[in-house]
Amino acid sequence: MHIRIDPVGGLAGDMFVAAMLDAFPPLEASVRDAVRAAGLPERFRCDLVPHADHALTGRRFLVVETTPSDPHGHAHDHPHQHAHEHAHDHEHGHRPFAEIRGGLNAAPLDPGVRDHALAIFTALAEAEAQVHGATTDTVSFHELGEWDSIADIVAAAAIIHALGPATWSVGALPLGSGFVKSAHGLLPVPAPATTLLLRGLDVRDDGVPGERVTPTGAAIARHLTSLPGSAPRERRLLGTGLGFGTRSLPGISNCVRVLVFDAALGDAATGDHVTSIEFEIDDQTPEDLAIGLDRVRAHAGVLDVLQTPAIGKKGRVVVSVRVLCRASAEDEVAQLCFLETTTLGLRLRDVRRHTLSRASSTVDVEGRAIDRKRADRGAHSTTKVEAESLRDVAGHEARERLRRAALRD
């Protein structure tokens, strides 16, 4: 599976979580459990709510604090706003990174979730430490230390872990412009820590002002792009999700769009999808069918052509044909099958295959260039001589002698 993060309006931690849960609703329960396991106090809860912005609809991820506010004990909800996150010096109400890290290490989290969460937090701490001339262990967070942002990062980590070997890519992130308020006064947009986290990532200037990427959003993007794997060249769209942020932007929805792809297509390392084109022939001479299938086989997108005898309708002997071709070439190959054979219909199936890594080489044996193919089978490898290299050699014994000599080194 490949997941594309498209930061339409920007990127923040809550926007990423909302978009992913919009795309993968079954993950909601496990995400809530992970955030609670990380130590979310009982007075807080996580809500995933519908949201509309301009022409788009999706979800918002909220951390809600419930407090009794009247003599009758009626509880009132106070949604936390995911505002600008910024590190501070040690003051009352601030949480040092060492405390957050210790809490996550002690929490009954799945080790994979913990690893992703700590990686995102560590990236943030390193950026903030560099901005403030501090060390990672001594840097302290204010807004970031609030439970809404901790919940965002743990929720993001739970989602990333749940999707296992998925590969990720992130679209160009909007820079924004202007200034944002912090305890240190006005800061330029992107904020200093965000700027450090954006290094190496694609960015764009769409002319819309304000803070568009928060430090948490930038840290998540950096973590995703550090995971192994890349976008396959050929892929099938499986689903999408939209997650919205707090702000309303002029003329554009403030959302993150998630695109979910089947990553088994195209140039996947161990497997890909090919098209199987199948049909039967009962009214074409064997000589002409052989010529036609040779022409089909010669197409660059064709991987193999198989023929087997069978009994068709009315008890007729038929030739059953199966053509394997690359998915990108299926239209051309299908037309070629109609052109070169007498079939009136084709059956097309999407087939997944696994292939071994292979390498070709040529050796000189008795003055003859012989081609070899080596296949990596994991625990061991095998090498065979290409039969075409010996096509003009007369006699089975002579061909076997050359094969053995070609495989000695």
Residues 282 and 383 in one domain: no
Residues 191 and 297 in one domain: no
- The DSSP line for 283-329 is SS-HHHHHHHHHHHHTSTTEEEEEEEEEE-GGG-EEEEEEEEEEGGG
Of 227, 262, 297, the domain-final residue: 262
Of 198, 227, 262, the domain-final residue: 262
The arithmetic mean of pLDDT across residues 382-388, rounded, is 88
49-63, 153-167, 182-196, 395-409: range with lowest mean pLDDT = 182-196
Residues 251 and 277 in one domain: no
Residues 95 and 187 in one domain: yes
Q: Are 5 and 168 in contact (CB under 8 A)?
A: yes
Tell me how far apart the alpha carbons of residues 206 and 183 are, in angstroms, rounded to a whole number: 28
Element (H, E) at 257: strand 255-262
Count the domains in the chain. Answer: 3
CATH of the domain at 295: 3.30.70.1380
Residue 251 has pLDDT above 70, yes or no: yes
Position 268 in a domain? no
Task: Choose between 12 and 380: higher pLDDT.
Answer: 12
Could you tell me the pLDDT band of residue 267, with boundaries at 50, 70 and 90?
A: very low
Residues 223 and 81 in one domain: yes
Q: What pLDDT, on a 0 to 100 scale, did the predictor assign at position 155? A: 94
The arithmetic mean of pLDDT across residues 298-320, rounded, is 91
Give pTM, 2 decimals: 0.61
Residues 190 and 120 in one domain: yes
Residues 109 and 231 in one domain: yes
Residues 299 and 310 in one domain: yes
Residue 320 has pLDDT above 80, yes or no: yes
Highest mean pLDDT out of 88-92, 206-210, 277-281: 277-281
Q: What pLDDT, on a 0 to 100 scale, did the predictor assign at position 89? A: 37
Structural domain containing residue 250 = 2-262
Closest to 46 measured CA to CA, from 34, 64, 31, 28: 64
The arithmetic mean of pLDDT across residues 157-163, rounded, is 93
Position 143 in a domain? yes
Of 354, 379, 397, the domain-final residue: 354
34-43, 137-146, 335-344, 387-396: range with lowest mean pLDDT = 137-146
Structure tokens at 44: 């807080």
Element (H, E) at 396: helix 396-406
Closest to 100 measured CA to CA, from 45, 48, 157: 157
The arithmetic mean of pLDDT across residues 56-64, rounded, is 89
Residues 289 and 301 in one domain: yes
Position 267 in a domain? no
Position 394 in a domain? yes
**pLDDT tens digits, 172-214:** 999 988 887 776 678 888 888 899 999 888 999 888 888 899 9
Residues 168 and 284 in one domain: no
Q: Are 62 and 80 in contact (CB under 8 A)?
A: yes
Residue 14 has pLDDT above 90, yes or no: yes
Q: What pLDDT, on a 0 to 100 scale, did the predictor assign at position 234? A: 67
Q: What pLDDT, on a 0 to 100 scale, did the predictor assign at position 263? A: 55
Residues 198 and 243 in one domain: yes
Residues 45 and 178 in one domain: yes
Report the amino acid identity of residue 387: A
